[in-house]
Structure 1
Amino acid sequence: MRSIHRARAMCEWGDFAGAAPKMRAMMTAPGDGLVPPFLLLSEPGVTAREQRACSERWTAERRVAAALERGRLGLRFDLRRREKITVGYLSSDFHDHATAHLLIETLEAHDRARFDIRGYSYGRADDGNMRRRLTAAFDGFCDISSASDTEAAMRIHADGVDMLVDLKGFTSGARTGVTMLRPAPLQVNYLGYPGTMGAGVCDYIITDHFVTPRGAAPDYAEAFAYMPQCYQPRGRAPLGLAPTRAAAGLPEQGFVFCCFNQAYKLTPFIFDLWARLLDDAPGSVLWLLQTEAAKGNLRNEMRGRGIDAARLIFAAHLGQSDHLARLQLADLVLDTSPFGAHTTASDALWSGAPIVTCPGETFAARVAGSILSAVGLPELIASDFDDYVAIARTLASDPPLLARLKSKLAENRLTTALFDVGAYTRGIEALYSEMWRRKLSGMAPGMIDFA
């Protein structure tokens, strides 16, 4: 599995088609061969049902060990009614990270009369602005990076956390061992991992009707807790002045297609579509996030499709404010599949750059569609990949149409649900309150939908 992950990160696609059969074989074979669930999210053709099976197998032995340890610890919970619900957020990303940028304004907007908000960090501890802002946003903040899973779980339990919100799932650096010890009476899968964590880990997953329609419920171990609009939080970070195209490494003329998704989300099929768009739009360029290990391979892939590799422009990693400023130079953002844009989609829209997407079946493939729905731009959600190409081609060839679309986005981003932090926070607090009410009433976790 390590070789597949490495190949994806480097965009080495020689055996791309052979990866999924290998992983499916491992998922069903006897023995201890395991497929990391996160790796499966970016594999074309894999269903949400298969993703659940992968998560169940990935955690099976650890759940048994966690249950034994939990029994040894003898954890008990106070389920009496109280004035405030204590919500603990568990993550390694409480620093200058995409998750922190998405969530910070919601944390700051929580109603302190009804909720006590605590952060449990096992990631990098720096003294940056975001770390200081996060620390101030919580009513209590605890660095558990040096604690064992058991010690971390005991600290969470001792703090009286009613609801533990896991912000990492199976993403890089996650410590699901803490969550599997179940140190809180309720546990929630939220934001960081776009899929199920399997049985016995979290009770609910915070979602929306676009990313997980009701019919998808059997593919998730967690009960759906539906936000009224997009499940993803997003604030209104200040937008600085856009740099010049020259300063951003872009040519002075020509249409700028853009995708700042991580390299492992790129696929040969998506690259085929992008090559068609570049071929149809003379003078256009494709602006990608720079990954040193993948640059050479991507240039070779584009040459192999008959496109001058010089039309690939690579953008350096920048801090959030500079990144948002330069995004204003993009004419159109192109989504990937089956693991699409998440934070990068809402970043683009906040910066005024429209994004075209083609939703798939899984959570990871549907996020950009949810975001576009919440900002009032459903016309950018393609029905299939031919439609995806047609939408992008039309916008690249019709400047007045693109200008009208950008004008609509500029208005909608200030008036629609996507960037309304107050409404979003009230929505998630309503879900937390209902989860807690059900728990106190002795009810099993079940779908929560206020629509």
Structure 2
Amino acid sequence: MCAWDDFAGDAKALADLLAADGSGALPPFLFLSQPGVGAADQRRCSELWTRDRRAAAATERRALDFRFRAADGRKIKLGYLSNDFHDHATALLLIETLEAHDRERFCVNAYSYGADDGKAMRRRLIGAFDNFVDIEALSDGDAARAIHRDEVDLLIDLKGFTANARSGILMLRPAPVQVNYLGYPGTLGEDICDYIITDDYVTPLASAGDYSESFAYMPHSYQPRGRAGPIGPRPTRAAMGLPEQGVVFCCFNQAYKFTPEMFDVWCRLLDAVPHSVLWLLGAPMAEGNLRNEAWKRGVNGARLVFAPDMAQDEHLARLQLADLVLDTAPYNAHTTASDALWAGVPIVTCSGSTFPSRVAGSLLRAVGLTELIAVDLDDYFDLAYRLATDPAGLVDLKAKLARNRAGAALFDVPAYTRDLEGLYQSMWNRRSAGLPPALIPAA
């Protein structure tokens, strides 16, 4: 809602919850967007969140007594676990990789506990898997039994602690190797997953102690992003409610990622760049508060333009109207960043010390635009201001992005998929050799 009257007090309340050492009191996903929080605190939050449930699961796990087959030269069976197998950001990112999996080496199953929204993406996802198993109606124990019965070798969780996650299934350990991937930018904590798919930008090796999972490094960005998403024709500014003249700063991140400090910088930019506007994703409960916050900072609240939800092709089309995307910190743009880069719009980011605060930097590295990564918010302001007031320089930057995009690692689905499969193979090789999880370096 961007109701920031007591932002500092709210931050202290969260810190007090963490310090109180209570199980299940502080949701880890909420903590990811909290300024001033380090990765070690995020791990502690995750482990406190699940402490009592993990203890209960350990008892049930002993009763289930799952045993696993030894490797015998068969295909490695992958099981992707999620409730987002429909028209959702995770599905949009992952669909081309799922379709590109090598079926000579891997059997690819889905374990879905989400509703069928009836849209085309749901049908496409069902077609992308060798088996699409609906476990929505099953208890955690019965879901774990189904996964174990199917002899899944690597169970890949796409949810973490995001909405409607069922980490209880993972706590029962129905597969010999369990992987934290894509859906949650942080550690799940002790005794849930063996590995996290990542890269050496979002999680430098020095941060390994802040994660319960072993790092499995992709060579470029951990995030997949295909090329097949259609970009519709560029609409007019007027059709999108934007003024005909002036710089269009854009941020289509959800409003929970906004902070007063970040909004200060944005308002400084609006004040410094005449006739500019800030184009935001519609957030009905936050819009009035954000306009009032702009007025408090001496900026006309009408210079905030709110965009409605649109289908993906229409969304990508309208993104082309943005001059510059302004990232959030400490929780960066993730899917919205790769969407902007695919649509040809540069993004200015400020990298922090945690996974969610470094994702946009990872994506910029994977398209060859590291010059857009700021070291702090002053640098972020200077970089955005310089680009906004140098039309020729901004044109050159967009041209560089257009040139890089054709060969960028971020959009190379076949290469990404082979790299991901290489990590899966390495995980399975270690398991087959009786070795514990350990760092898997990028190939």
TM-score between the two structures when normalised by the length of structure 1: 0.97
- Paired position in structure 1 for 2:12: 21
What's the offset of the Cα at 1:30?
A: 5.1
Correspondence 1:316 to 2:321: no
Correspondence 1:372 to 2:364: yes
What's the offset of the Cα at 1:32?
A: 4.6
What are the equivalent positions in structure 2 for 1:17-166 lying under 5 Å apart? 17-29=8-20, 31-32=22-23, 34-166=25-157
What's the offset of the Cα at 1:61?
A: 0.9
Counterpart pick for 1:235 among 205, 221, 226:
226
Using a 3 Å threshold, how does the CA distance of structure 1 residues 184 and 32 change in structure 2: closer, same or farther? Answer: closer
Tell me, yes or no, if the aligned pair for 2:21 and 2:48 is still in contact at 8 Å.
no
What are the equivalent positions in structure 2 for 1:40-439 lying under 5 Å apart? 40-236=31-227, 237-439=229-431
1: CA distance, partners of 2:309 / 2:286: 14
RMSD across aligned positions (CA) = 0.9
What's the offset of the Cα at 1:322?
A: 0.7
What's the offset of the Cα at 1:126?
A: 2.2
Tell me, yes or no, if the aligned pair for 1:27 and 1:33 is still in contact at 8 Å.
no
1: CA distance, partners of 2:222 / 2:363: 9
Please give the secondary structure, in 1, of the residue aligned with 2:386.
helix
Per-residue CA distance 1:84-111 (angstroms, 9 max, x = gap): 1000000111000000000000000000
1: CA distance, partners of 2:210 / 2:22: 24
What's the offset of the Cα at 1:27?
A: 1.6
Contiguous gaps of at least 5 residues in structure 1: 1-9
Tell me, yes or no, if the aligned pair for 1:204 and 1:445 is still in contact at 8 Å.
yes
2: CA distance, partners of 1:219 / 1:386: 28
Contiguous gaps of at least 5 residues in structure 2: none
Segment of structure 1 superposing worse, 381-390 or 190-199: 381-390
What's the offset of the Cα at 1:31?
A: 4.7
2: CA distance, partners of 1:29 / 1:356: 37
1: CA distance, partners of 2:426 / 2:145: 26
Tell me, yes or no, if the aligned pair for 1:239 and 1:325 is still in contact at 8 Å.
yes
The sequence identity of aligned pairs, in percent, is 63
What's the offset of the Cα at 1:450?
A: 3.2
2: CA distance, partners of 1:248 / 1:82: 56
1: CA distance, partners of 2:70 / 2:336: 40
Tell me, yes or no, if the aligned pair for 2:24 and 2:51 is still in contact at 8 Å.
no
Please give the secondary structure, in 2, of the residue aligned with 1:160.
coil
2: CA distance, partners of 1:55 / 1:324: 34
1: CA distance, partners of 2:441 / 2:273: 44
Structure 1 letter corresponding to 2:192? V
What's the offset of the Cα at 1:216?
A: 0.3
Correspondence 1:448 to 2:437: no
2: CA distance, partners of 1:31 / 1:438: 36
Tell me the number of residue pairs that the alignment of Structure 1 and Structure 2 aligns: 442
Structure 2 letter corresponding to 1:90? L
What's the offset of the Cα at 1:269?
A: 0.3
TM-score between the two structures when normalised by the length of structure 2: 0.99
Segment of structure 1 superposing worse, 340-349 or 64-73: 64-73
What's the offset of the Cα at 1:19?
A: 2.2
What's the offset of the Cα at 1:112?
A: 0.3
What's the offset of the Cα at 1:33?
A: 6.2
Per-residue CA distance 1:219-250 (angstroms, 9 max, x = gap): 00000000000000000112111111111111
What's the offset of the Cα at 1:80?
A: 2.2
Segment of structure 1 superposing worse, 206-215 or 18-27: 18-27
What's the offset of the Cα at 1:127?
A: 1.9
Tell me, yes or no, if the aligned pair for 1:156 and 1:184 is still in contact at 8 Å.
yes
1: CA distance, partners of 2:270 / 2:236: 22
Structure 2 letter corresponding to 1:275? C
What's the offset of the Cα at 1:118?
A: 0.5
Please give the secondary structure, in 2, of the residue aligned with 1:423.
helix
Tell me, yes or no, if the aligned pair for 1:26 and 1:33 is still in contact at 8 Å.
no
2: CA distance, partners of 1:450 / 1:167: 21
2: CA distance, partners of 1:54 / 1:163: 26
Tell me, yes or no, if the aligned pair for 1:81 and 1:440 is still in contact at 8 Å.
no
Structure 2 letter corresponding to 1:447? L
2: CA distance, partners of 1:226 / 1:362: 16
2: CA distance, partners of 1:41 / 1:151: 31
1: CA distance, partners of 2:21 / 2:347: 43
Please give the secondary structure, in 2, of the residue aligned with 1:357.
strand
Structure 1 letter corresponding to 2:189? G
